[in-house]
Amino acid sequence: MTDSPEPFIQIRDLHKSFGDLKVLQGINLDIPAGEMVSVIGPSGSGKSTLLRVLMTLERPEQGEVLIGGEPLYSMDGEGHTTLPPKAQFRALRNRIGMVFQHFNLFPHMTVLRNVTEAPVRVLGVSRKDAKAEAMKYLDEVGLAEKADAYPAQLSGGQKQRVAIARALAMHPEIMLFDEITSALDPELVGGILALLDRLGKRKEMTMLIVTHHMNFARQSSDRVLFFDGGVILEDGKPDDIFTHPTHDRTREFLKSVLEV
Ligand SMILES: Nc1ncnc2c1ncn2[C@@H]1O[C@H](COP(=O)(O)OP(=O)(O)OP(=O)(O)O)[C@@H](O)[C@H]1O
Ligand SMILES: [Mg+2]
């Protein structure tokens, strides 16, 4: 995987503002296929915004993003970002999955239906095949026996597992996880982090994980990004960032979160 000629995700000088508020102020990032990257940093530093821009939930006003060499966002002659033609854009977007803090399951559908809905409707998979696949992913996240339950009958941790299975069922090459354990009771967090760790070790997907679990970031990821004020202030191997960060700002942040 690492012998591909170019990084799988390439981000160049990415900018995103909300009104006067500059949230991403020139993000540059290359991520090889299969890498698991943890994103840490203070509240409001732009972590979620970067993921939302990659998921195409927000449009950047400047910058470029290539996925597998194909442009998701590119610049026109006047310095504005442009999107590829609709079909191409949709195809690229389908290669990216995201799991959020709040699981947003369809409440009126069973667990199984939650997982099969998008493969059937978006990918055109037959319901039979989608079910077989869904059971495989539910088994993977330890919830095969809950296939016929409704979301309201599940714990928060179980709901989050369903959300992960639902995202996996779309076979994304890139998975974005935004603080997916933040809404969970503490005793449910470990299981979700162990699942992420397992997915990362397989190297089948490129993963970006916004997390405030520093032990997880240090022990499970291949690489850690420290965000501050809309830029990536540090980018390196977990041990390097945690043991000798190059910026005082990183040291202060780590000190404050590790003291909690
Ligand atoms: N849709 C929006 N409209 C206006 N402002 C927004 C919007 N989304 C984010 N912001 C602002 O952009 C800044 C960065 O937000 P973002 O959610 O990316 O931060 P974050 O690093 O994920 O923070 P946290 O750790 O608290 O989740 C914040 O000041 C936020 O209020
Ligand atoms: Mg956030």
Query: CB neighbours of 210 closer than 8 A, spacing ≥ 6?
Result: 38, 39, 40, 47, 48, 51, 177, 178, 179
- Residues written for the chain: 260
Using CA atoms, how far apart are residues 45 and 64, in angstroms rounded to an integer?
20
Cβ–Cβ < 8 Å for 61, 16: yes
Question: 3-class SS at 71?
Answer: strand
Q: Which segments of the chain have a pLDDT < 70?
A: 1-5, 260
Question: 3-class SS at 33?
Answer: coil
Using CA atoms, how far apart are residues 105 and 253, in angstroms rounded to an integer?
33
Query: CB neighbours of 27 closer than 8 A, spacing ≥ 6?
Result: 11, 13, 14, 15, 46, 50, 63, 230, 231, 232
Using CA atoms, how far apart are residues 34 and 158, in angstroms rounded to an integer?
26
Pocket-testing residue among 49, 54, 210, 213, ligand 1, by greatest number of atoms within 8 A of Cβ: 49
Give pLDDT, residue 137.
95
Q: How far is the CA of 45 from the centre of ligand 2 (A)?
A: 8
Q: How far is the CA of 57 from the centre of ligand 1 (A)?
A: 13
DSSP 8-state class, residue 94: T
Ligand 1, pocket residues at CB < 6 Å:
18, 21, 23, 41, 43-49
Cβ–Cβ < 8 Å for 224, 237: yes
Cβ–Cβ < 8 Å for 214, 258: yes
- Provide the strand spans (E) within 100-148: none
Q: How far is the CA of 101 from the centre of ligand 2 (A)?
A: 9
* Nearest by Cα to 250 from 27, 240, 222: 240
pTM given for the model: 0.95
The structure tokens 């970006």 sit at 208
Structure tokens, 99: 């799991």
27-51, pLDDT tens digit by residue? Answer: 999 999 999 999 999 999 999 999 9
Structure tokens, 34: 């299969």
Start-to-end CA distance of the chain, whole Å, equals 38
Beta pairing, strands 231-236 & 223-228:
antiparallel
Q: How far is the CA of 142 from the centre of ligand 1 (A)?
A: 33
- Report which protein residue has its CA nearest ligand 1's atom 2: 18
Percent pLDDT > 90 in the chain is 91
Q: Is 21 left (phi over 0), alpha (psi -120 to 50) or beta?
A: beta
**Ligand 1 atom nearest to CA at 49:** 18
Give pLDDT, residue 105.
95
Q: How far is the CA of 48 from the centre of ligand 1 (A)?
A: 7
Give pLDDT, residue 40.
98
Give pLDDT, residue 3.
56
Using CA atoms, how far apart are residues 248 and 237, in angstroms rounded to an integer?
17
Residue 146 backbone phi and psi in degrees, to 5: -100, 15
Cβ–Cβ < 8 Å for 99, 176: yes
Pocket-testing residue among 20, 38, 43, 210, ligand 1, by greatest number of atoms within 8 A of Cβ: 43
